[in-house]
Amino acid sequence: NVLRHMGLHKDMGEIVFLVGHGSDTTNNAFSAALDCGACGGHAGDINARLLAQMLNEAEIRQSLAQKGLSIPVNTLFVPAIHETVTDSVHILDEDLIPSDRRSEIRDLKKKMDFASGRARKERSVSRSAVLDPHFNRRPRNWAEVRPEWGLSGNACFIVAPRSRTRFADLSGRAFLHDYDYTRDEGFATLELIMTAPMVVTNWINLQYYCSSVAPTVYGAGSKVLHNLVNEVGVQEGNGGDLRVGLPFQSVHDGEKLVHEPLRLSVFIEAPQSALEEIIHKHETVRQLVDHGWLHLLQIDGNRSVMRRMPGGKYEPAEAEGLA
């Protein structure tokens, strides 16, 4: 099911990277906020490692083949971690890579290093900042209150074939899930997406939203004044209640809000009937959609966008209504 839901059950390449993400910082009480939300505030390296080791096992491949999922003999699964402070990709467990495949991995590492540099440059433009030549020092600088911006600016979740957005400049504000409903028999993958990634992205979006619009209630105050309380939470200064939410420096640059507080807009390319069946089946999803915690928009076969209104009616989408 893991391979099917990731779309990796057909046309596998000779090397498949399984990449988790995480943030490597020091002196940061909120480091978990920069790690993976779907991993409960942990980095995703352990998931990548375990899955790669399993899928490289001959016995497991034989078992999968008996169930109708054949992995080519020359396909190698390689675990990696995307370190988001420096936008670097590090290959894990390199010692487990067969010696006759290591030259291929070295060539791919060079390409990933090039892509990392492009990503840092693009991020600096989207944040209207100068590209820091000492970016690799940021994770270890105890005085750095903004080692990275995390998911500040997040505004939408797009569930559609990657071809729809491949050449679009999304300015780092979109969660993307490559999904083709024509290959999803029974819409099992769509159901998983709407009950897991869509829910998690909504959690993330609301955390940034609330920490921006009501920082005194839902924010954590200033990092500069934080004192750790028994690994349970933080106090701002030498007293007061435990603070929740994100710190001031996660959403504000000192002059203005960096995060634009918008409820998450979820764009899904799939039939309305499939969306409605899943919404009615799962109360958690129904509450998110019907109570306005997010905006659900359907992309139809003609690429027009319809917005789902409370009660299940669909109307042509207007950008002005998506605040």
SS3 annotation, 22-52: ECCCCCCCCHHHHCEHHHCCECCHHHHHHHH
**Domain shared by 224 and 121, yes or no:** no
Lowest-confidence range among 45-49, 118-122, 170-174, 318-322? Answer: 318-322
Please report, as a single letter, which amino acid is at residue 281.
K
Helix (H, G, I), strand (E, B) or coil at 302: coil
DSSP string, 161-199: -GGGTTT---TT-EEEEE--GGG-GGGHHHHHHHHTHHH
Please indicate, yes or no, whether residues 15 and 70 belong to a single structural domain of this protein: yes
Q: Of 80, 105, 140, at which residue does a domain stop?
A: 140
pLDDT tens digits, one per residue of 272-316: 999 999 999 999 999 999 999 999 999 987 778 999 998 889 998
| Residue 196 and residue 298 share a domain | yes
Backbone φ, ψ for residue 188 (5° rounding): -70, -40
Cβ atoms of 152 and 258 within 8 Å: the answer is yes
Q: How many CB atoms lie within 10 A of CB 132?
A: 12
Does residue 151 sit within a domain? Answer: no
148 assigned to some structural domain: no
Q: Is the pTM of this model over 0.85?
A: yes
Lowest mean pLDDT among 61-65, 90-94, 127-131: 127-131
Domain that residue 29 falls in: 2-140
Q: Strand 156-160 and strand 174-178: pairing?
A: parallel
Confidence of residue 130 (pLDDT cuts 50, 70, 90): low
**Sheet harboring 76-83: ordered strands across?**
15-22, 76-83, 88-91
85 and 134 both lie in a single domain: yes
The H or E element spanning position 285 is helix 283-290
Distance CA 56, CA 34 (A): 30
The answer to whether residues 205 and 126 belong to one domain is no
- Whole-Å CA distances, 218 to 221, 242, 243, 247, 267: 9, 11, 8, 9, 27
Same structural domain for residues 111 and 250? Answer: no
Q: By 3-state DSSP, what share of the chain in percent is helix, strand and coil, each rounded to 5?
A: 40, 20, 40
Domain stops at, among 140, 167, 194: 140
> What mean pLDDT, rounded, does the chain reach?
90
Residue 21 contacts by C-beta under 8 Å, 6 or more apart in sequence? 35, 36, 43, 44, 81, 82, 83, 84
**Which DSSP letter does residue 8 get?**
-
- For residue 155, which of 199, 208, 85 has the smallest C-alpha distance? 208
Q: Determine the pLDDT at residue 259.
A: 95
Are 307 and 187 found together in one domain?
A: yes
CA distance linking residue 215 with residue 211, whole number of Å: 5
| 98 and 68 assigned to the same domain | yes
| pLDDT tens figures, 23-43 | 988 888 888 888 888 888 889
- CA 71/CA 9 separation, integer angstroms: 8
Q: Which pLDDT belongs to residue 12? A: 86
Q: Is residue 195 domain-shared with residue 90, that is, in the same domain?
A: no
Structurally, the chain folds into a number of domains equal to 2
In this structure, the answer to whether residues 311 and 175 fall within a common structural domain is: yes
Contact 75, 16 (CB under 8 A): yes
Which residue among 109, 140, 171 closes a domain? 140
> Is 147 inside any structural domain?
no
Residue at 145 is within a domain: no
Report the distance separating Cα 319 and Cα 323, nearest Å: 8
CB-based contact 225:236 (threshold 8 Å): yes
**For residue 229, what are its two tokens?**
């309380």
> Which pLDDT tens digit goes with each residue over 207-247?
999 999 999 999 999 999 999 888 788 999 888 889 889 99
Residue 150 lies in a domain: no
pLDDT above 60 for 128: no
End-to-end CA gap in the chain: 36
Which has the closest alpha carbon to 234: 206, 84, 224? 224
Q: Which two tokens stand for residue 179?
A: 């999904």
What is the maximum span of the chain, computed from C-alpha positions, in angstroms? 62
- Of residues 261, 163, 197, the one with CA closest to residue 39: 197
**Same domain, yes or no: 166 and 295:** yes
Q: Check residue 322 and give its pLDDT.
A: 63
pLDDT digits (tens, 9 = 90+) for 145-200: 888 888 999 999 999 999 999 999 898 899 999 999 999 989 999 999 999 999 99
Quick one: 182 and 312 in the same domain?
yes
